[in-house]
Amino acid sequence: MTDKNSRWMLVSGLTGFTFFLIANFTNFFAGLNMLAGWLQLCVNAFVFLVWKKAFLQSCGFKKFVAFFGVVVPVVMASITIWRVLLPAIYH
């Protein structure tokens, strides 16, 4: 795994996690969590692609770590859809 991949992984992971927290645990402004939920889905698609590339290019323990970076965005997106987006759509 190259140093460039590591930087992209760090930036994408922090961004995805930040949007996950905003979408699921804030109520500062009306509709902010809904907007953050949609943005989080877009960001998590980017996170998934970055970590997938790193997964395919790595080996050993780095591949093990990168695997979780591929799985976690899918889980976070599913949680956001379930907790934020679906309730907002159905109300």
Place of tokens 């190259």: 2
**Amino acid at residue number 55:** F
Where does the pLDDT of residue 31 fall: very low under 50, low under 70, confident under 90, or very high at 90 and above?
low
Q: Which residue has the higher pLDDT, 32 or 25?
A: 25
pLDDT of 27 > 80? The answer is no
Q: Is the CB of residue 27 less than 8 Å from the CB of residue 37?
A: no
From the number of C-beta atoms within 10 Å of its C-beta (0-12, 13-18, 19+), residue 13 rates as middle
- Is pLDDT of 80 > 90? no
pLDDT of residue 23: 79
Percent of the chain past pLDDT 70, that is, above it, reads 92
